[in-house]
Amino acid sequence: MAPPRMRPRFDLQLPVERERWLGALKSQLKDAPGSLRGQVFKKHAVVLMRDTERTFWSPYLNLEVEDEPDGSAIRGRFSPHPNVWTMFMGVYILLAIVGLGGLSYGIVQLTLGYSPWAFWIIPASIALFGFVYGATLIGQGLGAEQMYVMRSLIDRTCVDALDAPLGVAVADSE
């Protein structure tokens, strides 16, 4: 079994135009009743859980759709909601600053001949860093079913875009 990845991603190559695929995604998001909502732009789309279904660990799917000579390339990345991602990054930065502060203060204590108790802050920061990292992996595991629902939507969108008549966008894209 592969280890869990931070912010899992996927790449798809399709023999359909970008506008056609984004139109199919817009149609899927509009017509399919369920727990998903999203926004579709010219070369970008986001898919997330409806507010009633969203939890702290719910995933956020960011899609980049680019034109290719033989169709389009879709690059998807699952991540936490941007607010949650920012909070985790803030905690990581705070722990790094606290660890560096402990190192600096410990060096000062050592230089002045005091007992360098501040060096204990470093392993405590590393342990908390590991705890936060583990919490992100647990959250990813708790959101795995919702990630599957989002990926299923993308797969259905690919089928719809491939089945649409040539030269016809599935829905108007903005």
CA angle 6, 97, 90 (to 5 degrees): 45
Handedness of CA 40, 140, 80, 76 (dihedral sign): negative
The answer to whether 103 and 95 are in contact (CB under 8 A) is no
pTM (2 d.p.): 0.79
Domain 9-80+144-163: assigned CATH number: 3.30.310.80
* pLDDT digit string, tens, across residues 54-83: 898 899 999 999 999 888 999 999 998 889
Q: Domain map of the chain by residue range?
A: 9-80+144-163, 85-135
Inter-CA distances, 54 with 29, 77, 138, Å: 16, 18, 16
The pLDDT, as a whole number, for residue 171 is 47
The pLDDT, as a whole number, for residue 174 is 42
**pLDDT bucket at 173, cuts 50 / 70 / 90:** very low
